[in-house]
Structure 1
C-alpha cells in the first residue's frame, strides 16, 4: 500500500486524484484532506505529476501525537539499512502540531533502531504527514520533479496574455494521455502558444499542434524548440474546421478552447469552434480533455463523445475553467 501527498488547494482534490489515477497509480482512495492511498503506483510517473507531491510506502497510521508516532515507529519492523532523514508535514495546515518536534521524536526512535540520521543526502527518507487528527507514515518512493516555474508563460520565447500555467497544463495532459505516456501521440488542435504541448513532450509524448493563426503556430514552434529540443513534435497552421490529420492518428487530444478576447480573434462563435474541434478530435483519437469557460454537454454529445467527468478550476475572479474529460 502507498500513500500520495496531494498538491493544490482543497478544491483541487478531485483533479489531483483523476490525474494520479490516469497517469501513475491505481486503486486510489481518499484518506484525509490532502492525502490518498493507492494499491499500485508507477514510481517513474509519480515524478511527472502536477498535483501529487510525493508517493510513499505505508508504514502505518495513527493519531497526530508525538507519543503515538514514536510508538508506531518503535513497533515497526524495517528491512532496510543506511542513513535516514525524517520529513514531517502539516498537510494544508490542518493539524495542530509542530513538525520539528515530530521529526525529533521519530528520528530518536530510528536512531534507537540503529539508523544514522543524515539530513543532507540520506539513503532513505521517512515521511510523516499530518492531516487534521490523522497521521500517516511511510518511506518515500518518488517525489514530484517540479521545475514548472522555469516554464512560466512569461519566460517563454513567445508569450501571449491568458496563457495557461505549466502546472495546470501538465495535469490536463496527464488526465488525457497519462496511460499512454511515455510514447503516445498527443494532439492540441488549438495550440496557441504551445503550453499544453510543452508539458506533453516533457512527459514523453510525440506532440502535434495546430493553430489557424500564423503568429500562434510560429510562436508555438519557437516555444517547443526551446523546451523540447530532443523530442518529436510538429506545429501546423490549419483551420480547425479542416484538421489535416488521419483518422485514429492520436492517442489523446487536449486543448484549451478560446474564450473572451480569444474567441473574437478566432472569428467564429465559441460554439462553432468547439463543435468543429470536438468532431475532429472524435475522428483522430479515443480520448479527449478540453478546457473551456463553461460546460458544453450538448456539443460533447452531438460530436459523439461521452462526458466521463468534469472539474471546475478557479483561476482568478473573472475566470473559472471547466475541464471536460471525454471518451
Structure 2
C-alpha cells in the first residue's frame, strides 16, 4: 500500500487524477489518499506531490506516530531522514519535534541519519479535517511512509505568457496536466483536442508521452498552437528531457469540432475546454457546438474529458456518453470550471 500526498484543495479531483497512475485510490484524510499500487506515471501527476510506501496509520499525534514506527518492521538499509508534514496546517503539530522523535526511533534501530542526501526518507503526514479551513473530507490521521517517488514540479516554467503564442484565458499548465492525465494521456496513447485554442492541453499530453492531435475552427489558433508545440515539445522550450518520456508525435488541423477529419475509433481519448459565455446570443450558439463536439468525440474515442463553465451532462448523455464523474472547480469568484469525465 502507498500513501499519496495530494495537492490543491479538491481531494476528490486529485484522487481521480491519481487513479491514472495508481490503483484503488481512496481519500484517507484531508490532503492524503491511499493506493494499492503506483506506476512510474506518478512522476507526472499535477495534484499528487509524493507517493510513499505506507508503513501504517495512527492518530495524528507524535506519540502515536512513534508507537507506530516502534512496532513496524523496517526492511531497509542505508542512511535515513525524517520529514514531518502538517498537511494544510490542519493539526498544529510541532513538525520539528515529530522529526526528532521519529528520527530517534530510527537511530535506536541502528540507522544513520543524513539530512542532505539520505538513501531513504520517511514522511510523517499529520492531517485533521477539523483544522482544515477549506473543509476537507476524511478523518484525522497520521500516516507514515517511505518516499517512493516525487512528481516533477516544473509548471511555473511553462506559464502561458512564456510561450510564443498567448491569448488571455489560456489554461494554467497545472490544471491542464491534471485534465489530460484524467483523460488517459501516456506513452502510446492518442489524445485529441478538437478546440485546442493555444494548445495548453496538447502540450501537457505531449510532455507525458502521448501522441496529440489538435484542431480549431480558427486558423489563427491552429498557427499559434503549432508555434507552441514546436517550442515546447520539439524546441528550446522543452523542460528537462531527462525528467520526461520522449514527447509524442503531434498533428494539427483546422476543422469544425463537430466534423473532425478523423476515422472512427482513431483516438484513445478526447479532452477539450468548451467556449465560455452566458449572453443569450452565445448561449444559442454553444448548445449545438458542444453537442456536436460530444457526438464526434464519442465517434473517435471511448473516453472524453469536457471542461466548461456550466454542466453539459444532459448533452453528454444525449451524445451517448455516461457521466462517470463531474467536478466543480472554482477558478475565481466569477468562474467555476465544470469537469465532466465521460465514458
Q: TM-score, normalised by structure 1?
A: 0.93
Aligned counterpart, 2:37: 40
User: Pick from 182, 190, 196: which aligns with 1:185?
Assistant: 190
Deviations 1:21-65 (A, max 9, x none): 1x11112222111111111221x1111111111111111222222
Tell me how far apart the structure 1 counterparts of residues 284 and 91 of structure 2 sit (CA, whole Å).
Answer: 51
8 Å contact from structure 2 (residues 12, 27) kept in 1 = no
Matched, 1:209 2:209: no
Pairwise CA distance, 1:271:
0.9
Pairwise CA distance, 1:237:
1.4
Tell me how far apart the structure 2 counterparts of residues 152 and 225 of structure 1 sit (CA, whole Å).
Answer: 16
Tell me how far apart the structure 2 counterparts of residues 62 and 240 of structure 1 sit (CA, whole Å).
Answer: 51
Tell me how far apart the structure 1 counterparts of residues 323 and 93 of structure 2 sit (CA, whole Å).
Answer: 42
Pairwise CA distance, 1:242:
2.1
What SS does the corresponding residue of 1:37 show, helix, strand or coil? strand
Task: Rate the CA distance shift 1:116–1:69 in 2: closer, same or farther, 3 A.
Answer: same
User: Pick from 146, 151, 154: which aligns with 2:158?
Assistant: 151
User: Pick from 64, 74, 98: which aligns with 1:102?
Assistant: 98
Tell me how far apart the structure 2 counterparts of residues 173 and 252 of structure 1 sit (CA, whole Å).
Answer: 9
What SS does the corresponding residue of 1:269 show, helix, strand or coil? helix
Deviations 1:188-219 (A, max 9, x none): 00000000001101111000010111111111
Following superposition of structure 1 onto structure 2, how do residues 156-305 of structure 1 map, counting pairs within 5 Å? 156-178=163-185, 181-229=186-234, 230-260=247-277, 269-305=285-321
Aligned counterpart, 2:141: 134
Aligned counterpart, 1:15: 13
8 Å contact from structure 1 (residues 207, 234) kept in 2 = yes
Provide the aligned length of Structure 1 versus Structure 2: 320
Task: Rate the CA distance shift 1:288–1:262 in 2: closer, same or farther, 3 A.
Answer: farther
Task: Rate the CA distance shift 1:261–1:79 in 2: closer, same or farther, 3 A.
Answer: same
Tell me how far apart the structure 1 counterparts of residues 278 and 256 of structure 2 sit (CA, whole Å).
Answer: 19
8 Å contact from structure 2 (residues 277, 283) kept in 1 = no
Task: Rate the CA distance shift 1:267–1:61 in 2: closer, same or farther, 3 A.
Answer: closer
8 Å contact from structure 1 (residues 263, 270) kept in 2 = no
Deviations 1:253-275 (A, max 9, x none): 000001139998x9971112101
8 Å contact from structure 2 (residues 83, 99) kept in 1 = yes
8 Å contact from structure 2 (residues 195, 216) kept in 1 = yes
Provide structure 1 residue ranges, at least 5 long, that are not aligned to the other structure. none
Tell me how far apart the structure 2 counterparts of residues 79 and 297 of structure 1 sit (CA, whole Å).
Answer: 49
Task: Rate the CA distance shift 1:309–1:92 in 2: closer, same or farther, 3 A.
Answer: same
What SS does the corresponding residue of 1:280 show, helix, strand or coil? helix
8 Å contact from structure 2 (residues 258, 293) kept in 1 = yes
Task: Rate the CA distance shift 1:56–1:262 in 2: closer, same or farther, 3 A.
Answer: farther
8 Å contact from structure 1 (residues 62, 134) kept in 2 = yes
8 Å contact from structure 1 (residues 163, 193) kept in 2 = yes
Tell me how far apart the structure 2 counterparts of residues 272 and 234 of structure 1 sit (CA, whole Å).
Answer: 26
Pairwise CA distance, 1:171:
1.0
Task: Rate the CA distance shift 1:297–1:65 in 2: closer, same or farther, 3 A.
Answer: closer
**What is the alpha-carbon root mean square deviation over aligned residues?**
1.9
User: Pick from 107, 110, 113: which aligns with 1:114?
Assistant: 110
Aligned counterpart, 1:318: 334
More deviation in 229-238 or 88-97?
A: 229-238
Pairwise CA distance, 1:101:
1.2
Pairwise CA distance, 1:131:
0.4
- TM superposition outliers: structure 1 runs of 4+ over 6 Å: 261-264
Pairwise CA distance, 1:5:
1.1
